[in-house]
């Protein structure tokens, strides 16, 4: 599993330690501050293709859903309601078209995946109060994951 190497500003490329939870850059010369990307140390995966890593995970992982991809997710204990592993359905109108059925997620939307990972990291950092801008689906997914 890769370790988080650092956080990197999407605008000025400043680097920050992943030991402190943060989402925005504090070093951008001009506002608005850039969002921070998580950068992983992928050297442990260097000798494997992404497909090989994912296939290995799928075969050996006791986890279902999105956590079967743990080798490319943060190395922390997951918070999960079983999100992911949603089916692909064939369109009745267009037989060559497959549609991802994200309503099969625990909260009925694709938001369940991202919020499960957000709550996983919040627990890792010891955060106790979480909020999200939402028209409804994200807030529902956050509440369920919490």
Our CB check for Zn ion shows the closer of 15 and 48 to be 15
Give the span between the Cα atoms of 78 and 112, in whole angstroms.
13
Among 2, 34, 82, 114, binds Zn ion (CB under 5 A): 34
Indicate whether 54 belongs to the interface with Zn ion (CB under 5 A). Answer: no
Of the pair 11, 124, the CB lying nearest Zn ion is at 11
Q: Does 97 bind Zn ion (CB under 5 A)?
A: no
Half-sphere exposure of 52 (CA within 13 A, CB side): 5
Least Å distance, CB 6 to Zn ion, is: 13
Q: Closest distance between Zn ion and the C-beta of residue 39, in Å?
A: 14
Does residue 25 interact with Zn ion by CB under 5 A? yes
Distances 129 to 80, 99, 124, 132 between C-alpha atoms, Å:
18, 35, 13, 11
Shortest approach of Zn ion to residue 10 CB, angstroms? 7
**Binding residue for Zn ion, selected from 6, 11, 39, 124, defined by CB under 5 A:** 11
Handedness of CA 90, 92, 97, 103 (dihedral sign): negative
Phi-psi region of 47 (alpha: psi -120 to 50; beta: other; left: phi over 0): alpha
Would you count residue 121 as binding Zn ion (CB under 5 A)?
A: no
Question: Binding to Zn ion by residue 9, rule CB under 5 A?
Answer: yes
User: What DSSP line would sit under 19-76, residue for residue?
Assistant: TS---B-S--SSSSPPBEEEEEE-GGGTTS-HHHHHHHHHHH-S--GGGGGGGGS-SS
Q: Does 7 bind Zn ion (CB under 5 A)?
A: no
Binding site for Zn ion (CB under 5 A): 9, 11-12, 14, 25, 28, 34
């Amino acid at each position: 599993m890769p370790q988080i190497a650092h956080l990197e500003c999407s605008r000025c490329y400043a680097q920050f330690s992943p030991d402190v939870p943060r989402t925005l850059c504090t070093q951008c010369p001009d506002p608005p501050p850039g969002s921070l990307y998580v950068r992983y140390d992928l050297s442990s995966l260097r000798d494997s293709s992404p497909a090989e890593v994912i296939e290995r995970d799928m075969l050996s992982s006791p986890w279902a859903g999105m956590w079967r991809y743990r080798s490319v997710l943060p190395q922390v204990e997951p918070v999960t309601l079983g999100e992911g592993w949603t089916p692909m359905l064939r369109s009745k109108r267009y037989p060559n078209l497959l549609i991802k059925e994200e309503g099969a997620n625990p909260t009925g939307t694709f938001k369940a995946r991202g919020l499960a990972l957000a709550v996983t990291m919040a627990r890792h950092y010891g955060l106790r109060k979480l909020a999200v801008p939402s028209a409804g689906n994200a807030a529902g997914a956050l509440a369920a994951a919490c």
